[in-house]
Amino acid sequence: MAEVLPNYLIKLEDVSRIYRSGNRHVEALKNVNLKIPAGKLVIIKGPSGSGKTTILNIMGGLDQPTSGKVYFQGREIGNYSERELTRIRRKKIGFVFQTYGLIQSFTAFENVELPLRINHYSWKKRRERAYECLRLVGLEKRADHRIFELSGGEQQRVGIARALVNKPEMILADEPTGELDFATSMKVMELFRKLAGKGVTICMVTHDPAVMEYGDLIYEIIDGQIINEEVIVHE
């Protein structure tokens, strides 16, 4: 009998995250409950320091909650081995980091192609797919430029292309339009909407009000707590 998966890709259940430094402790998240529906574009909005990035890191298995449970495709992440989590991050999740996370001495092409090399794709497939993703973000002509030769906005787009290259089931994006001008930001959001329409689950965090209209579901977080949930209906 085939396994029946839930209609959400990720669920956080009473998740709290406390960071400790000596005698000090900071509650980054406080009993957060949310679901990321499969095939939707979900936006988590809130001011700087509200806990947005912490939520994203916990969803991707990069950080662990102090308390509460996190589920991926119906299975609690705490029950995955580190090897299984690594496989999920490599093949099922694409990350767009706020600090880009690119290798400065590599070219744009080499950064985008690297995840495919790690997953043992042939050179022909790596080349075709990397250039396809660079075209999607408008950087095909900058493919041979090293990262330190690119602007902040171009580096951000390389990060987006790299997140797409493995055809992940989900993309976790931390302020993906933060370094982009308005026109480029809208192109990135249109790309995200198109991907969601093809069944890719996208969860991004932002404090940019211009991108809100692209979301299917918007969570608002203040001081580590979800204070509002809004469903957007697109005609």
Average pLDDT, the chain: 89
**What's the average model confidence in pLDDT over 214-222?**
94
Residue 6 has a pLDDT of 55
What pLDDT does 185 receive?
86
101-167: in CATH 2.60.120.480 = no
**How far is residue 7's CA from residue 157's CA, in Å, rounded to a whole number?**
30
pLDDT > 70: percent of the chain: 97
For residue 3, pLDDT beyond 60: no
Tens of pLDDT, residues 76-114: 988 888 888 888 888 899 998 877 789 999 999 999 999
* 69 within 8 A of 13, measured Cβ to Cβ: yes
Q: How confident is the model at residue 70 (pLDDT cuts 50, 70, 90)?
A: very high
